[in-house]
Amino acid sequence: MGFFNSLSTRIPLALVGGVLYGLLTYYIILFLDLPSQLAVAGGILVFLFYFGSRFLILFSGINTLYYSKEERRNSKLLLENNSFYQTAQWVGKFYHYHDIILFAFLILTSIVFLISLVMDWSGSKPFGETLQNLWNAFTPLP
């Protein structure tokens, strides 16, 4: 089953992911110049949906790509025609691929960060100057 299939790993990841997506929603709403009360409500709503859907998959007892228990149940045949079972399979597959893409994005970001540090070190520049120059180039604000 592995390290990433354990509840002690999945629960903190669901909590951290919910907080990060909630904060992202909060800042997107503030960036759009909408009221701060709406930003707080939107952030909390996204957190609850994200965290709740992950918990629903974890504790439903249905084996999915996202999380599967080690023991197999014989009641699987009874659940396969159920719409909840089919939805759990779809959501589990979505979260599984979501986590793979997110992990690849984090690896790519880490590699870019390390390359920029090596470039700064080899050019005798202060650490972070290359990233700051990239940020300034892509930011339209003066």
Angle between helices 129-138 and 83-122 (to 10 degrees): 120
Q: Using CA of residue 61, residue 62, residue 68, residue 74, what is the dihedral sign?
A: positive
For residue range 99-133, list pLDDT tens digits in order: 788 878 888 988 988 998 888 888 888 888 888 88
pTM as predicted: 0.67
For residue range 10-37, list pLDDT tens digits in order: 888 888 889 989 999 999 999 999 999 9
Q: What is the pLDDT of residue 37?
A: 96
In contact, 56 and 87? CB cutoff 8 Å:
no
For residue range 52-71, list pLDDT tens digits in order: 988 888 888 778 877 776 65
More confident call, 25 vs 141: 25
Q: What is the pLDDT of residue 98?
A: 84
Residues 6+ positions from 53 with CB-CB distance below 8 Å: 91, 95
Q: Is the pLDDT of residue 72 over 60?
A: no
Q: What is the pLDDT of residue 77?
A: 55
Which token pair is 48? 């609850």
